[in-house]
Amino acid sequence: GILNLNIIERSSGVTVPARIEVLGSDGEGYVAEDALLTGGDCSVDKDSQFYHLDNIQSRKTKSLKNRFTRTTQFYSTGLSTVELPQGIATIKVFKGPEYRVSQSDINIVAGKTTKHTITLTRLANMQAKGWYSADDHLHISRPARILDPLISKIMQAEDIHVANLLQIGKSDYFASSPQYAHGKNGIYKEGIYILSPGQENPRTHLLGHTITLGAEQALHNPEEYLLYKLLWKEAADMGAINGYAHFGNALGASFGLPVVLPHGLMSFVEVLQANWSDYSTWYEMLNLGFRITPTAGTDYPCVTNLPGHERFYTRVEDPFTYNNWLEGVRNGRTFVTTGPLLEFSVNGKDIGDDVKLNKPGTVIVEGKATFNPQTDNLLGLEIMENGELVKSFSATDDSGVINFKFEHRVEKNSW
């Protein structure tokens, strides 16, 4: 039989892209005929030791293998047609951490077409509060503008509002996961979803892997490749921001970061990636007095997590534009997550703001974490000051919310 699916967003009533899993009565995963092309293979050339990343069109792959559920899934524009064996089929629909996972069973009748509408409901609406999600580390080849609508639909399916597509370099090669344009000419916006070019370059195992976002052109100088500071200065003069990938301590970063950090050209560091977090280097930089923003990215498809599995949210001033988003990152208005959504304030000041006291005194620390019990198991929260534990809060029920509010004495300059 045939299953016609329509995915509707409840609050708007419109059809929306999503990631879908359809299990037939035989327990096998089925992919829609009209599923979006996806993928981008990340393989290493044995001679050059460099990555080859095929673009989406060349692969013509429609199925996804989810490493966590070990099931076959696919991306849909919101309208999908699936051929299935007769019997009960199970459909699951995913759309990032702000939406509840929808699951339903449908009886497929042989030789018949069954129409089914699924309405997605929100767990939270972060953009209504000025927060927008991003993945800062996607290696999706985009050699032509014709790919923009397709890639955007995939990002919309994962509810990634800012997808940073990084062209990769090394000293003698800067053409992997290419972008058709850099700067404003390479930005594609569809509603509240943005595709933006960036670069993971310079990138060495000697001094670490760096990321530049928002540069008006691709930056690459083989003759001065190890002088990261020079490229970062050129990028900063364009209004771009620079940072370190892979926690700031992997693949040589522990040697390169101390060289460039004191020059005031570094804005962010990835602290969450590959289903792993490491805050140690970030804590050290904060304790030294550097205002460094935490970000997160998947390194997709070079790491097998799907886009946005590790993501970060940025508080953006109206209107929502790439430049305003970039400014939010620059000013530290972010939190990183693999699902739980954070609200946090000190004396009413939000993430990234300053609280100024005339003398040592007491502040009010308040916030909450909201998470989806269908997909997340958040055991508790820890509140840190200058890298030391201040308080911890455990989940008390299965409501999917942990609230906290307490008074705290501040004796000196702190984060």
Residue with tokens 């990138």: 203
Residue with tokens 């077409």: 113
Q: Is the pLDDT of residue 337 over 70?
A: yes
β-bridge partners, 93: 20, 102
| pLDDT, average across residues 158-173 | 95
Instruction: Report pLDDT digits (tens) over 17-35.
Output: 999 999 999 999 999 999 9
Q: For residue 76, count other CB atoms closer than 10 A to its CB.
A: 27
115-134 residues labelled b (16+ CB within 10 A) or e (exposed): eeebebeebbebbeebbbbb
The beta strand positions in 201-246, using DSSP E, are: 203-204, 208-213, 241-244
Mean of the per-residue pLDDT values of the chain: 93
In angstroms, the CA 2 to CA 22 distance is 12
**Structural Rg of the chain based on CA atoms:** 22
Closest CA to 261 of 232, 235, 237: 232
Confidence band (pLDDT; 50, 70, 90) for 49?
very low
In angstroms, the CA 264 to CA 290 distance is 8
Q: Is the pLDDT of residue 44 over 60?
A: no
pLDDT at 54: 55
What spatial distance separates the first Cα and last Cα of the chain, rounded to whole Å? 59
CA separation, residue 262 to residues 63, 200, 207, 215, 289 (Å): 46, 21, 15, 21, 10
Instruction: Report pLDDT digits (tens) over 107-126.
Output: 999 999 999 999 999 999 99
| pLDDT, average across residues 336-353 | 96
Neighbour-count burial of 404, counting CB atoms closer than 10 A to its CB (0-12 exposed, 13-18 middle, 19+ buried): middle
Instruction: Report pLDDT digits (tens) over 288-317.
Output: 999 999 999 999 988 888 999 999 999 999
pLDDT at 69: 87
The beta strand positions in 297-355, using DSSP E, are: 311-315, 334-337, 341-346
pLDDT at 50: 47
Q: What stretch of H or E contains 406?
A: strand 401-410
366 is written with which tokens? Answer: 């308040």
Instruction: Report pLDDT digits (tens) over 60-82.
Output: 688 888 888 899 999 999 999 99
| pLDDT, average across residues 188-207 | 97
In angstroms, the CA 154 to CA 141 distance is 14
In angstroms, the CA 98 to CA 341 distance is 8
20-47 residues labelled b (16+ CB within 10 A) or e (exposed): bbbbbeeeebbbbeebbbbbbebeeeee
3-state helix, strand, coil in the chain (%, to 5): 15, 40, 40
Taking the CA atoms of 389, 395, 396 and 400 in sequence, report the sign of the dihedral they define. positive
- % of the chain beyond a pLDDT of 70: 95
Number of residues in the chain: 415
- What is the DSSP code (8-state) at residue 101? P
Q: What are phi and psi of 280, to 5 degrees?
A: -60, -50
Q: For residue 192, count other CB atoms closer than 10 A to its CB.
A: 12
pLDDT at 22: 98
Contact 117, 79 (CB under 8 A): no
Confidence band (pLDDT; 50, 70, 90) for 47?
very low
**In 13-110, alpha helices (H):** 56-59
In angstroms, the CA 125 to CA 167 distance is 31
Residue with tokens 């989940």: 395
Beta-carbon contacts of residue 322 (< 8 Å; ≥ 6 apart): 162, 187, 189, 194, 196, 214
- What is the DSSP code (8-state) at residue 290? -
